[in-house]
Structure 1
Amino acid sequence: MKDYIQYRTTANLMFQEELKFNISSQLVKEITIKTSSLKLTYDKEFSIIFELENCDDKSADEVIQETEAYLDMLLDELSFEYSSSFSAIEITSFILNDKQQKDRLHYDSVTFPRAIDNVTAQNLVDSIENGGYLINSYKRLFRTSLQMKDPISKFILLYSTLILKVGPAQSQVDAYISAQEPSVMFKASTRSGGGPDETIYTYLRNQIGHTQPSTNVNQISEEVKSILEKFEIIVKSAL
């Protein structure tokens, strides 16, 4: 009986065929990704299976810790490339040293799934197998933002990610935004003491972060919703 651990999650992505690839690891022999359709939803079920080796001296906790690190990196990459969020991760099957690890098993908006063609899928495999796939804290933040259902929270995290990458000053953020979107709207700063005009993105960020008595919260919320998709693309371009 092969040792393996299988994770489950869902997303609005669909691979045409299952993917298999190897990574530079003494514990993980092979990773397989399978997708299948779910009833009554456009989301797809992802099964990520880690075939294990050299497990004799490994505890269940050690296996989970190492494979979940790889899993997180993989989902970071998929979230970044396809701007897709994933549901909570579950362990659905786990065999270690020929024994079922039953005590380790644990179990919003709908969009049409984007099919991932075989060429794109192979590029992902090549990237991982060639070692070009490393932990990227910016992609982890980007993935976290995609999980957020509240538009304001998502916007603030995206802005924080951008200022970490191209800042630290807001003027640097606005310079980057202007280069990516030359026609971006500028608005007068409402900060105490004034200041240079701000892009609509920085203006909204400051309206949220430094709320004043005159701030119309409902209006700000609607404005954030209207620019969120475009801002996501700008942030992604910087990472």
Structure 2
Amino acid sequence: MTAWIAICRDSAGVTAHAMEGARHLRHAKGIDEAAALAHLAFDAGRILHIGDGPPDSLPAAILPQGGHGLPGFVQDSPADVIGAQVRLWIAGFLRLHRDWDGVICAIDGDISHWLHLSAGEAISAQSFLTQQLVSALGGTVPPARDALEDSLSRPERLAAHLRAAQVSNRRDALTGHLLGAELAAARPYWLGQQVAVLTSPDDPTGHAAALDAESVPATIHAPSELVAHGLAALAGAFGLDA
């Protein structure tokens, strides 16, 4: 088995993962790559960078064919960029759920990415800044169901709905209206599809609760538990598991 290291960057710094073929051994964090590697203390002949290289244009395979790392995704219309970290999560999810077709709602910080997957490819995407608006307006979770329904059925009245919730000091309604508008815009993705939400189990943004309120059979998967599986999938794609 090939010993290799995966380098992942996020807003908190850098994480280095020690891999032996498809087996995840351990990880270490640091403020930069050098610090993470020093803490990892692992000798490997190859390092793959998650986020390396220009992004792949959608539609694209989740797992790249060759190269030196895992880039993110880019889409021309609607204009979008999806980080390589989300792509890694999806690779891990598909390794656990082979031949799965449907829609992924991946919560990456304060951005929600909806991606249509089919035959191991990301076909299209639509992303939202809903959580940034929730934070700016002081919304809380779980979202109010009546507010969710109002803005899902009448998204054109979102600004008026938000003002009413603000005046009434209903912070859960602020979140409900914003999520309702997002679900209205993302309806072509989730309607009639099986949906997986990649987020913390406590559903901090309320997306899973919003889908449940609409009787959408969505499952929740913690991104932290998908990373090792995503790296194992990468090992296969890059021939590091032989």
TM-score, L = length of structure 2: 0.30
* Bigger strand share: 2
Larger Rg: 1
TM-score, L = length of structure 1: 0.30
